[in-house]
Amino acid sequence: GPIILQSYRVIADFEKNSKSELAAKNGDVVEVVEKSENGWWFCQLRNKRGWMPAAYLEPLDGPDESEEQDPNYEGDLHITTKDYTGELDDELNLKEGENVEVIHKLLDGWWVVRKGSITGYFPAMYLQKSGETAP
Amino acid sequence: TIKRPPENPPPRPPAEVRRKQV
């Protein structure tokens, strides 16, 4: 049978920065084809397709629908796969190969991680579960 | 076929959304 895609409302203008991204305006309604854990969702808007940041989308059925996981305060061990320098105050600066504990895996691809006594946001894209090899 | 996602992390939530979450 037909595949029913979930509809999401775009909550802020998004301009694309690479060819694979999909630009959309505040108020547009897109259909989500695939959700990547790193916060990029593959969407279609009219006759166009491309990746959009999950943070710019909210379910059309209402903001109550939550797919968000609960935080895990014990921490889930991960290793950083790339150097990253935070751009906002609440982000962590980490080098490649550092061990961190993931506290909260947020759908927007910015996970709450703990390094020693410091906690902040870090891109899920640059994290890999400890003990697993890169895909 | 699904294309590969962009190589950079997605942008943080728009400023107006971050304020709402606080």
Chain A residues with CB under 8 Å of B4 CB are: 20
For A96-124, what is the mean pLDDT? 97
Q: Which two tokens stand for residue A49?
A: 């397709």
Dihedral pair phi/psi, residue A74, rounded to 5°: -70, -25
Q: Which residues of B lie inside 8 Å of A (Cβ-Cβ)?
A: 2-14, 16-17
Query: Measured between CB atoms, which of B5, B13, B16 is closest to A36?
Result: B5
Q: What is the pLDDT of residue A4?
A: 82
Q: What is the pLDDT of residue A90?
A: 96
Using alpha carbons, select from A65, A2, A64, A56 the residue that is nearest to residue A25.
Answer: A56
Give tens-digit pLDDT for A26-85.
Answer: 999 999 999 999 999 999 999 999 999 999 999 987 655 567 888 999 999 999 999 999
**ipTM exceeds 0.95, yes or no:** no
Q: What is the pLDDT of residue B18?
A: 64
